[in-house]
Amino acid sequence: MERGSEIYNDFCINCHMPNGEGVKNTFPPLAKSDYLIKNREASIRGIKYGQEGEIIVNGITYNNTMAPMGLSDDEIADVMNYITNNWGNKNSKIVTEEEVSKIKK
């Protein structure tokens, strides 16, 4: 989890904020996020390749662009495990590098 925290602080914190709260109507929250758990593959794909278009997080519609961060598959797995096990999120199934590598655009 420590490496995931470091990656979050380097790549995600500016938009999604220190505690994953995001910015309402601009950058979706990662804290207590229904989207992350219900849309695991799409969440990983968004980190890996970037995200465009409408998504609904905790009942609020977001329509913004997230550029790909250029992270390796193992870094994506680490940051996903950090995010999905913090700020009120609970994920019992860890994200692996192998799982991330299988996700295509």
Task: Render pLDDT for 37-94 as a digit per residue (tens, 0 to 9).
Answer: 899 999 999 999 999 999 999 999 999 999 999 999 999 999 999 999 999 999 999 9
Task: For residue 8, give the CATH number of its domain.
Answer: 1.10.760.10
Q: Specify if 104 maps to a domain.
A: no
Q: Specify if 33 maps to a domain.
A: yes
Cα separations in angstroms, 38 against 3, 49, 68: 24, 19, 21
Cα angle 9, 11, 13 (rounded to 5 degrees) comes to 50
Residue-level pLDDT at 1: 81
Q: Specify if 40 maps to a domain.
A: yes
Radius of gyration of the chain (CA): 12
Total domains in the chain come to 1
Q: End-to-end CA distance of the chain, in Å?
A: 26
pLDDT at 23 over 90: yes
Quickly tell me which residue has 């925290």 as its tokens.
5
